[in-house]
Structure 1
Amino acid sequence: MTATYTVKIHDRFSDTHYTTQVPDDRYILHSLEQQGITLPFACRNGACTTCAVRIRSGEIYQPEAMGLSPELQQEGYALLCVSYARSDLDLETQDEDEVYELQFGRYFGKGKVRLGLPLDED
């Protein structure tokens, strides 16, 4: 049996607040789109950070969110394109670049790499 949850989402970029119902067996982004709510997205595969949100309250199930580390998921980040509601939710869109930096920033800014070693350690 399908459960339905109330989702409140603040789109920070347009400063728009939405409140709607979503079923627990469909991706949240897809459900929102079917209701005429347009939010940022790109890959629809859970591999990028374009559709990232911060969970202010509630529970999301996102087993396919490859674009977010388990640590970021524990900190309350989710990717709407591959997330299912597991309770009523209060969400806020995030800046893609900020989330990307949190996810992948530790891999950048360490200089050029050759054979697995930074060039300055030759």
Structure 2
Amino acid sequence: MSNYHKVKIRDRAKDKEYTVEVPEDRYILQTAEKQGKELPFACRNGACTSCAVRILSGEIYQPEAMGLSPKLKERGYALLCVSYPRSDLEVETQDEDEVYELQFGRYFARGKVRFGLPLDED
């Protein structure tokens, strides 16, 4: 039998707070949905950042979170769709654009892109 952990989720976009009981061997997002909670998601396989959260307290195990860089994981971000609780948790949903900017902002949307050819200046 799995250990269960209490997971408190603050949904910033909806200004709601949910508390769910999640076994250590189940994904947090899937379990929360089965308990009637509506949380943001898209791909459900750890490849995007729609279900990104910032961990306020507790521990998460997320070996399949390909959509987050190791640096963001170190800074306390997680993807609920592929995260398992390892203790009681408190997390807060994040705006997907904010997480994307934190992760990729230095590479994208930084002025004109040149592909080896000069751009005509207006």
List 4+ stretches of structure 1 deviating above 3 A.
Answer: none
- Residues 38-66 of structure 1 show CA distances to partners (whole Å, capped at 9, x for unaligned) of 10000111111100001000000011111
Instruction: Name the structure 1 match of 2:31.
Output: 31
Matches within 5 A, 1:27-106: 27-106=27-106
* Contact 1:60–1:85, Cα closer than 8 Å, also in 2: yes
Q: Aligned partners of 2:31 and 2:87: how far apart in 1?
A: 15
Cα pair distance change 1:32/1:111, threshold 3 Å: same
Instruction: Name the structure 2 match of 1:17.
Output: 17
- Residues 78-99 of structure 1 show CA distances to partners (whole Å, capped at 9, x for unaligned) of 0000100010000100001000
TM-score, normalization: structure 1?
0.90
RMSD over aligned CA atoms reads 1.6
List gaps (5 residues or longer) in structure 2: none
TM-score, normalization: structure 2?
0.90
List gaps (5 residues or longer) in structure 1: none
Q: Aligned partners of 1:90 and 1:38: how far apart in 2?
A: 17
Q: Aligned partners of 1:19 and 1:28: how far apart in 2?
A: 11
Q: Which amino acid aligns with 1:25?
A: D
